[in-house]
C-alpha cells in the first residue's frame, strides 16, 4: 500500500468526473454519428425521458426509457425535427474544453475522469476505419490535461453508443457488438498510448439490472433480455482488459458499478428482510465478481437457472473472462438503498417504474431534492465491503450532490449544502482508509462543472463547483463561473484532504 498523508495516499487522484454525452454538445459536428443519447428527450423529476422513433411509414412516436417495449415493426430510433434533445448541446465542452480544463487545474485536479463518445470515433459503430476528426479532438483534450498536470481517466463507454448499432441489430443484444467495441477500444489504446494510462471499460455496468437502454442500447427492462446482453458486455470488457495490457503493460484497467445497489439495508432485523438485502446486493456484486475474479459466481448461475435466464456463455467466453480481470475497482456512490418484503412499506417513489430499485424510505436518513438518501456512512460501508471482497485498489469514480443552485445578484453561488455533502463523504472515505485499511487510489466527484443530468435530462439538477449559465429552456450564455465550493475543493486538494 502507498504512503498515506492525512488519510490519503501521497499520489491520491483528486479530481472530477464527467461523461461525453452529458457535456460535449456538438452532437453532429466533425463526423460524429448519432448516439443512443441523442434520441432522448428532456424529462423532469416526475416526467420521464422519452426515446423518439420513426416508423417505416413515416409515423413518429416516443417511448419511455424506463418502461420500454419493442418498437412498432420496421421503426427505428431517430432524431426528429422540432423535438428538444438536451444532450445535443450539453454545455458545449467541445468548444470550451481548454477553459474548462484550466478551471479544473485551478482547483488543483490531479485527475479528470471523462469518456470518449464512441460515435465520434465510429459514427455508426460498425465501420472499419475510425473518424480522424473525432480522434484529433480527444488528442487535444488529453494534451490539454497533460499540459495542466492532470491525469486523464477514460471511460470507454459511458451510457451511450452509436445509434447505428441499435437500429442495425439491437446493440448489445447481439454478439457482433463485442467486435465493434473491441475495434473501438483498440483504436483508443493504440492512439492514446502514453497519454492515457487509466481506463474504465463500462460506466455503471450494473444499470443492466434496471434498464437496458442507458448502458447498452437495449430496448427492454426484462432481465431475460438485459442479462444476456450484459454477458456480451462482460466478455467485451474482459477482452478489452487483456488487449490494453498487451498494447501497453503500463495500462491500468478498471470496472465500474453503481454501488448504491450494493449498499443495501434491511428495513428491520426480520431475517427475511436481511436476506432480501443480501440478494439485492449480489445483483450488483455479480458484475464486479465477474470482472475482478474472472468467472460467474455460483449464486448468479443458480439465479439464471431458477429464473429461466439464458446467457450465451461459451467455453471461449469462460477463457476470455478469466484472462481479463481488472486492475482496480471503481464505483459511483450517491446513496444507499433500503429494502423490505412488506408491500405496504413506505416506498421512496411509489409511482415510479423504478420503485423496486429505489427501495423504501430510511427513517434515519435525509434525502436530496430528487429523493436520493444522503448517507456518508454508506460510502464507508461500500469501501470496506468492496476492498474486503477483492483486495484491489479502489477509485471512487463518482459522488456528489445534485441540487438546485440559486445565483445571487452578483452572480455568486453559495452552495454550502454541496460543501457539507462532500465534506461528510470525504470524512467517511478517510475513516475507511485510516481505520479500516482500504487502499483508496482516488476520488473523482461527479460533475465538477454543471452538466446535463443522465436520469432526467435536466440542467437545473446541478453538481458542479463551476456554474454554467444555461437553463432548461436552452437559454443562457454558457458562461462559466466559480461557486463557493470551487474554492473549498481547491483547499481540500491542496491539503490532501486535511482541510475539509
For binding to ligand BGP (CB under 6 A), which residues are involved?
19, 22, 159, 203-204, 258, 332, 398, 402, 446, 453-456, 461
Helices and strands, counts by H and E, the chain: 15, 17
Q: 24, 144, 204, 458: which one is catalytic?
A: 204
Angstrom distance (rounded) from CA 54 to CA 453: 25
Distance CA 125, CA 485 (A): 39
DSSP secondary structure string for all residues of 252-320: EEEEEEEGGGTSEEESSS-HHHHHHHHHHHHHHHHHHHHHHHSS--HHHHHHHHHHT------HHHHHH
Catalytic: 427? no
CB of 260 to ligand BGP, least distance (A): 9
**CB nearer to ligand BGP: pick between 19 and 165:** 19
Q: What is the distance between the alpha carbons of residues 277 and 266, in angstroms, rounded to a whole number?
A: 5
Shortest Å, Cβ 158 to ligand BGP? 6
Considering the complex, what minimum distance in angstroms separates the CB of residue 72 from ligand BGP?
Answer: 29
Distances (CA, A) of 423 to 4, 416, 426: 19, 10, 5
DSSP letters, 104-172, are HHHTT-SEEEEE--HHHHSSSS--SS--HHHHHHHHHHHHHHHHTT-EEEEEEESS--BHHHHHHH-GG
Least distance to ligand BGP from the beta carbon of 58, Å?
A: 33
Nearer to ligand BGP, 102 or 367 (CB): 367
Complex with ligand BGP: residue 461 or 483, whichever CB lies closer: 461
The span from the CA of 368 to the CA of 350, in Å, is 17
Question: From the CB of 205, what's the least distance to ligand BGP, in Å?
Answer: 11
Residue 9 or 425: the one with the smaller Cβ distance to ligand BGP is 425
DSSP strands (E only) in 393-436: 394-398
**246 annotated active-site:** no
Q: How far is the CB of 22 from ligand BGP (least distance, A)?
A: 6
Q: Of the listed 186, 398, 427, 458, which one is catalytic?
A: 398
Nearer to ligand BGP, 14 or 446 (CB): 446
Task: Between 120 and 158, name the residue whose CB sits nearer to ligand BGP.
Answer: 158
Residue 240 is placed in which grid cell?
Answer: 478489452
CA dist 126 and 269 (Å) reads 51
Which residues are identified as catalytic? 204, 398
Amino acid at each position: 500500500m502507498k504512503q498515506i498523508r492525512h488519510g490519503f495516499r501521497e499520489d491520491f487522484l483528486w479530481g472530477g468526473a464527467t461523461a461525453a454525452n452529458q457535456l460535449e454538445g456538438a452532437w453532429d459536428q466533425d463526423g460524429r454519428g448519432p448516439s443512443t443519447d441523442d434520441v432522448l428527450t428532456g424529462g423532469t423529476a416526475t416526467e420521464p425521458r422519452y426515446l423518439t422513433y420513426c416508423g417505416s411509414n413515416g409515423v413518429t412516436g416516443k417511448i419511455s426509457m424506463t418502461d420500454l417495449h419493442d418498437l412498432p415493426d420496421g421503426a427505428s430510433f431517430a432524431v426528429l425535427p422540432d423535438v428538444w434533445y438536451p444532450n445535443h448541446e450539453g454545455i458545449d465542452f467541445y468548444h470550451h474544453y481548454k477553459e474548462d480544463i484550466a478551471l479544473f487545474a485551478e482547483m488543483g485536479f490531479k485527475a479528470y475522469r471523462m469518456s470518449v463518445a464512441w460515435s465520434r470515433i465510429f459514427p455508426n459503430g460498425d465501420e472499419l476505419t475510425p473518424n480522424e476528426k473525432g480522434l484529433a479532438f480527444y488528442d487535444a483534450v488529453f494534451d490539454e490535461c497533460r499540459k495542466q498536470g492532470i491525469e486523464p481517466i477514460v471511460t470507454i463507454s459511458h451510457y451511450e453508443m452509436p445509434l447505428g448499432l441499435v437500429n442495425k441489430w439491437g446493440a448489445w443484444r447481439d454478439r457482433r457488438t463485442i467486435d465493434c467495441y473491441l475495434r473501438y477500444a483498440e483504436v483508443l489504446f493504440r492512439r492514446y498510448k502514453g497519454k492515457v494510462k487509466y481506463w474504465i471499460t463500462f460506466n455503471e455496468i450494473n444499470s443492466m439490472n434496471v434498464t437496458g437502454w442507458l448502458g447498452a442500447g437495449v430496448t427492454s427492462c426484462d432481465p431475460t433480455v438485459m442479462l444476456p446482453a450484459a454477458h456480451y458486455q462482460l466478455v467485451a470488457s474482459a477482452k478489452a482488459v487483456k488487449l490494453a495490457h498487451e498494447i501497453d503493460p503500463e495500462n491500468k484497467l478498471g470496472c465500474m458499478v453503481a454501488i448504491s445497489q450494493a449498499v443495501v439495508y434491511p428495513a428491520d432485523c426480520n431475517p427475511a428482510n436481511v436476506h432480501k438485502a443480501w440478494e439485492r446486493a449480489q445483483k450488483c456484486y455479480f458484475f464486479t465478481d465477474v470482472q475482478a475474479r474472472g468467472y460467474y459466481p455460483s449464486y448468479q448461475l443458480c439465479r439464471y437457472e431458477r429464473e429461466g435466464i439464458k446467457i450465451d456463455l461459451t467455453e471461449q467466453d469462460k477463457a476470455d473472462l478469466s484472462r481479463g480481470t481488472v486492475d482496480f475497482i471503481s464505483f459511483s456512490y450517491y446513496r444507499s438503498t433500503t429494502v423490505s418484503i412488506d408491500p405496504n412499506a413506505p416506498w421512496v417513489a411509489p409511482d415510479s417504474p423504478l420503485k423496486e430499485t429505489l427501495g423504501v424510505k430510511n427513517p434515519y436518513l435525509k434525502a436530496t431534492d430528487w429523493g436520493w438518501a444522503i448517507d456518508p456512512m454508506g460510502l464507508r460501508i461500500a469501501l470496506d465491503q468492496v476492498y474486503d471482497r477483492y483486495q484491489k485498489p479502489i477509485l471512487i469514480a463518482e459522488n456528489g450532490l445534485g441540487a438546485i443552485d440559486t445565483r445571487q445578484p452578483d452572480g455568486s453561488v453559495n452552495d454550502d449544502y454541496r460543501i457539507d455533502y462532500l465534506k461528510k463523504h470525504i470524512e467517511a472515505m478517510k475513516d475507511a482508509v485510516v481505520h479500516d485499511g482500504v487502499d483508496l487510489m482516488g476520488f473523482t466527484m461527479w460533475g465538477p462543472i454543471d452538466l446535463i443530468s443522465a436520469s432526467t435530462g435536466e440542467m437545473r439538477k446541478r453538481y458542479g463547483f463551476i456554474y454554467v449559465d444555461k437553463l432548461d429552456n436552452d437559454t443562457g450564455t454558457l458562461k462559466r463561473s466559480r461557486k463557493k465550493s470551487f474554492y473549498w475543493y481547491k483547499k481540500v486538494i491542496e491539503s490532501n484532504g486535511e482541510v475539509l
